[in-house]
Amino acid sequence: MTSTATAPGPAAPAPGPPPSPPDRDRDRAAGRSGLLGLLDLPGQGVRAIIRSAATTPGRLTVIAVGLVLLSLIAGLVATLSVQNRDDTISGVIDHREPLAAAAQQVYRSLSDADATAASAFLSIGTEPPELRQRYERDIAEAGAALAKAASDASDVADAAPVDVLNQSLPVYTGLVETARANNRLGYPVGASYLREASELMRAKILPAAQDLYRVDTERLVNEQDSATGFPWPATILLVALLAALVVAQIHLTRRTNRLLNVGLVVATAAVVVSLLWGAVAMVVQGSLVGSGQDDGSHRVDVLVRARIAALQARADETLTLVARGDGAAYEKDFGANAAQLVGPDGQGGLLGEARGLIKDGDGVTRVADATKAANDWLKAHKVVRSQDDAGQYQEAVDFAVLEDKTDGSAPAFRRLDDSLQAAIDVGRQEFLDDTHRGDNALTFLAPGLAVLAIVAAAGVTMGIRERLREYR
């Protein structure tokens, strides 16, 4: 039997344990490069955080980072929210309200110019210098106010009325000048030119001015509403931060058997101060801005509409006389505008609404004076109509346009117009005073919230760091 000897070779390596998970992660990371490696970085970071959170120091680090980030984000959102509201209020005071007032001035000046031109036309011979000066002043004021109101014509809503006014106003003034020239020469055609000018004013110019006023008033109201809205995002973040701090302190108390963590207590106190300070300031600011809207801009809008109705009725009154027996349409418009001003019984209408809104201050006296003057004017108008209908044309004209007749139509209307202007001025001042006080309520709030957010983040950092040192 034959046997074969085999030379021994090198021994095969004994099988070892499989690589640990970290070794496998490193092997996979080493095997990846380029775009795939970059795409895997977030996943590696998440896995590292999860592994770290499995230990107490790692868990504390994650809590600290989360609370610091939440503190800074909440502080940033709250600061920006307050600053944005402060900017909105400043814009209402410095920009939006003056533009609404300018648009109102355009309407008022043009309405008064139309009424004044008709009154001057009724004068015998050369028109009274004071009426001529008033008409020229109205046109100049309307042009200046239109230029100011047009400075914010950023879209079709207000650009279209501005274009109509810019194109039609020179045509109107040209027709009025033609009417004046013919009237001085004694040509009856002058009345036709004046009626054409007034028709242009009523059919095209005043509706455009009303659209401009409406757009600016709506923007003012919208910005006031924006300035009184509740800051939900900032409030939610601050409340969430406060809840997270309370949960973190409960967790530390259970893990360390220490009742309080000084750093987290400081952070919690900073958040509580932020919430209380912000809540009080926002409530006071919102109340004052809302008061400025109710006691100021809303009342002013009612008074402006009352004044416009009065001016249009005054133009109807004089144009009825200019028409010389062919003014039934103007008299009908007068009745509609008078009803809008004081109501069917003389105690309602826009003036009645204004009396219901204004309960104290100088505005009460001004509106009461306007109501009395309106009733005196309507009584004088009845005298004018009775004289004109009885064939006493010149007596009716004198009673309608002469200022020296103390019980006449012109002095009564002038008292009405002056009282309404004074009431409007009071309302505007109340709006500005209340809104300024609302703006002052936010003084130092934005930087204060930013500082408190930093204090909260620093408190979290110091509080957690002290606990981490115990593990070294």
pTM reported for the whole predicted model:
0.79
348 three-class SS: coil
Tens-place pLDDT, residues 292-351:
888 788 899 999 999 989 999 999 999 999 888 888 999 999 999 999 999 988 889 999
Tens-place pLDDT, residues 212-257:
988 888 888 888 888 888 889 999 999 999 999 999 999 888 877 7
Q: What is the pLDDT of residue 227?
A: 86
**Chain-wide mean pLDDT for the chain?**
85
Tens-place pLDDT, residues 273-288:
999 999 999 999 999 9
Q: What is the pLDDT of residue 396?
A: 92
Segment among 17-31, 88-102, 110-124, 426-440 with least mean pLDDT:
17-31
pLDDT band at 127 (very low <50, low <70, confident <90, very high): confident
Does 461 have pLDDT greater than 90? yes
**Amino acid at site 213:** Y
**Domain positions in the chain:** 57-469
Closest to 301 measured CA to CA, from 104, 112, 92: 104
Total residues found in the chain within this entry: 472
**Backbone angle region of 55, left / alpha / beta, with phi > 0 → left and psi within -120 to 50 → alpha:** beta
**Amino acid at site 251:** H
CA atoms of 192 and 260, how far apart (whole Å): 91
**Arithmetic mean of pLDDT, 88-96:** 91
**Dihedral of the CA atoms 219, 209, 132, 325 (nearest 10)?**
-140
CA atoms of 228 and 233, how far apart (whole Å): 15
Q: What is the pLDDT of residue 247?
A: 93
Does 413 have pLDDT greater than 90? yes
With vertex at residue 78, the alpha carbon angle to CA 72 and CA 82, rounded to the nearest 5 degrees, is 145
**Arithmetic mean of pLDDT, 440-458:** 95
CA atoms of 123 and 407, how far apart (whole Å): 18
**Arithmetic mean of pLDDT, 376-390:** 94
